């Protein structure tokens, strides 16, 4: 596995592969990898001749009060996981390689970015879209892989790719969960043992929502009231949002159907966790614990 830190070297590697008519999959990450990330590499390996994973904690997607300096990092451990999952090249640039000191050009998706996490995380999706647009230019992948756990990020990137005519397939991959249902996230390391236990309320509440839908519920208010009541049974849970949104535009809707998304962000102590499911794509097993 090759570790590349500069855009020039990356371009040279990509040119070699393209000249040989080889296909490339890109898995963008911010490192501190878990099995959810590893599954993206596995999907990419199945679909493409070569897999590139980026490990880059993107400073411009963090707000002034967010955890950029505290974001967990362990590049050596990440490389072991990437190598074990057949990654060919790790792109690991320094922030200075990605952003000139006078950098002032952004990719900004309206509407889709405005709700859910975008409503409180100012410029977060502008930072995500900008770095993804840059990675698409640097790596020129045939396919790019994202986890469905970040449902809004996936919808925002899909919209950018469509609107700006990037020639890439955006692949959404299933959320990978811990045995008790908690969605895997690099942020789970922030949870104390007590908080980790309390965090199970997210997947339990999603499961309640899925059960109501299976029983015929299609009214957002009825669903959300029940889900919020359930979240309130956990004293450590502080709701940021629970919403039902259109699966493409991410706008709240009153009645829902296949393809729409039930999403939540909940603080457990100081840690903000997100999770979701797509209506009609409810094969995600959330264990009853
Ligand atoms: O989901 C993430 O880890 C990041 O938002 C991403 C897609 C790697 C962009 O920095």
Local confidence band at 274 (pLDDT 50, 70, 90 cut-offs): very high
Write down the pLDDT at residue 282.
72
- Per the domain annotation, does 200 fall within a domain? yes
Q: Is the CB of 30 under 6 A from ligand 1?
A: yes
Co-location of 248 and 155 in the same domain: no
Question: Could you give the C-alpha distances from 258 to 161, 200, 210, 213, 214, in angstroms and in order?
Answer: 23, 26, 12, 11, 12
pLDDT band at 4 (very low <50, low <70, confident <90, very high): very high
Of 128-137, 176-185, 275-284, which range is least confident?
A: 275-284
Q: Is 26 in the pocket of ligand 1 (CB under 6 A)?
A: no
Q: Of the residues 173, 207, 222, which one is the last residue of a structural domain?
A: 173
User: Please, what is the Cα angle at 272 between 269 and 273, to 5 degrees?
Assistant: 115
Phi first, then psi, for residue 252 (nearest 5°) are -60, 145
With tokens 């756990």, the residue in question is 149
- List CB contacts of 146: < 8 A, sequence separation 6 or more: 28, 40, 153, 154, 157, 170, 171, 172, 173
Residue 262, CA atoms < 13 Å, CB-side half-sphere: 33
Does ligand 1 come within 6 angstroms of the Cβ of 260? Answer: no
pLDDT digits (tens, 9 = 90+) for 239-255: 999 999 999 999 999 99
Find out whether the beta carbon of 131 lies less than 6 Å from any atom of ligand 1.
yes
Per the domain annotation, does 287 fall within a domain?
Answer: no
The reply to whether 70 and 19 lie within a common domain is yes
Asked if residue 289 is part of any domain, the answer here is: no
Looking at 173, 197, 220, the residue that finishes a domain is 173
Check whether 285 has a pLDDT greater than 80.
no
Say if ligand 1 is within 6 A of residue 188 CB. no
What's the average model confidence in pLDDT over 1-7?
Answer: 98
95 in a domain, yes or no?
Answer: yes
Q: What is the pLDDT of residue 61?
A: 98
244 in the same domain as 152: no
Structural domain includes residue 133:
yes
| Cα 139 to Cα 13: distance, rounded to the nearest angstrom | 9
Question: Do 119 and 258 fall within a single domain?
Answer: no
- Kindly report the average pLDDT of the chain as a whole number: 96
Residue 48 belongs to some domain of the structure? yes
pLDDT one-digit tens code per residue, 27-79: 999 999 999 999 999 999 999 999 999 999 999 999 998 879 999 999 999 99
Last residue of a domain, one of 122, 141, 173: 173
What pLDDT sits at residue 65?
A: 85
Are both 150 and 213 inside the same structural domain? no
Ligand 1 proximity of 28 Cβ (cutoff 6 Å): yes
Give 29 Cα–ligand 1 centroid separation in angstroms: 5
> For residue 46, how far is its CA from the centre of ligand 1 (angstroms)?
22
Q: 233 C-alpha to center of ligand 1: Å?
A: 32
132 and 254 belong to one structural domain: no
State which of 128, 168, 172, 183 you would mutate to test the pocket of ligand 1, scoring each by most atoms of that ligand within 8 A of its C-beta: 128
Instruction: Fill in the DSSP letter of residue 83.
Output: H
Check pocket membership of 184 for ligand 1, CB cut-off 6 A.
Answer: no
Q: Are residues 146 and 202 in the same domain?
A: no
Q: 101 and 207 share a domain?
A: no
Catalytic center residues:
37
Nearest CA, atom 6, ligand 1: 29
Q: Is the CB of 58 within 6 Å of ligand 1?
A: yes
Structural domain boundaries, residue 228: 186-278
Pocket test for ligand 1, best of 38, 56, 117, 131 (most atoms within 8 A of CB): 131
Residues pairing with 95 in the sheet: none
Mark whether 237 and 113 lie in a shared domain. Answer: no
**Backbone dihedral angles phi then psi of residue 220, each to the nearest 5 degrees:** -60, -45
5: number of Cβ within 10 Å: 12
Distance separating alpha carbons of residues 58 and 131, to the nearest angstrom = 7
Q: Name which residue sits closest to atom 8 of ligand 1, judged by CA.
A: 29
Say how many domains are in the chain.
2
User: With 70 as the cut, is the pLDDT of residue 235 above it?
Assistant: yes
Distance CA 151, CA 146 (A): 9
CATH of the domain at 215: 3.30.1300.10
Q: What is the per-residue pLDDT for 67?
A: 77
Which CATH number characterizes residue 97's domain?
Answer: 3.40.50.620
Indicate whether 283 pLDDT > 60. Answer: no
Q: Does a structural domain hold residue 229? A: yes
Burial of 47 (0-12, 13-18, 19+ CB in 10 A): middle
Q: Are 289 and 200 in contact (CB under 8 A)?
A: yes
Element at 115 (helix H, strand E): none
76-111 pLDDT, tens digit per residue, is 999 999 999 999 999 999 999 999 999 999 999 999
% of the chain at pLDDT higher than 90: 95
Q: Is the pLDDT assigned to residue 114 strictly greater than 70? A: yes
- How many angstroms separate the CA atoms of 181 and 287, rounded? 6
Based on the fold, state whether residues 132 and 248 are members of the same structural domain.
Answer: no
Same domain, 160 and 23: yes
Do both 211 and 104 map to the same domain?
Answer: no
Kindly state whether residue 129 falls inside one of the protein's structural domains: yes
Give pLDDT tens digits for 122-151.
999 999 999 999 999 999 999 999 999 999
User: Residue 30 Cα, ligand 1 centroid: separation in angstroms?
Assistant: 6
């Amino acid at each position: 596995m090759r570790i590349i830190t500069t855009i020039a070297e990356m371009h040279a590697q990509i040119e070699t592969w393209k000249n040989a008519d080889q296909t490339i999959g890109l898995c963008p990450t911010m490192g501190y990898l878990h099995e959810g990330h590893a599954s993206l590499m596995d999907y990419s390996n199945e679909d493409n001749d070569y897999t590139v994973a980026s490990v880059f904690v993107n400073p411009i997607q963090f707000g002034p009060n967010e955890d950029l300096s505290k974001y967990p990092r362990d590049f050596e451990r990440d490389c072991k996981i990437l190598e074990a999952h057949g990654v060919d090249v790790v792109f690991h640039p320094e922030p200075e390689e990605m952003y000139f000191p006078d950098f002032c050009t952004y990719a900004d998706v309206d509407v889709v970015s405005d709700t859910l996490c975008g409503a409180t995380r100012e410029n977060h999706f502008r930072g995500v879209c900008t770095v993804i647009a840059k990675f698409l230019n640097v790596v020129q992948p045939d396919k790019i892989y994202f986890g469905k756990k970040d449902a809004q990020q996936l919808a925002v990137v899909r919209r950018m790719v469509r609107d700006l005519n990037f020639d890439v397939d955006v692949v959404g991959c299933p959320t990978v969960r811990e045995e008790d249902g908690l969605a895997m996230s690099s942020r789970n390391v922030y949870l104390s043992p007590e908080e980790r236990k309390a965090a199970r309320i997210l997947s339990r509440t999603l499961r309640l929502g899925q059960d109501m839908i299976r029983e015929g519920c299609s009214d957002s208010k009825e669903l959300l009231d029940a889900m919020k009541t359930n979240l309130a049974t956990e004293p450590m849970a502080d709701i940021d949002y629970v919403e039902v949104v259109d699966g493409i535009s991410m706008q709240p809707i009153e009645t829902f159907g296949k393809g729409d998304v039930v999403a939540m962000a909940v603080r457990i102590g100081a840690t903000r966790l997100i999770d979701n499911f797509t209506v009609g794509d409810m094969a995600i097993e959330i264990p009853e614990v």
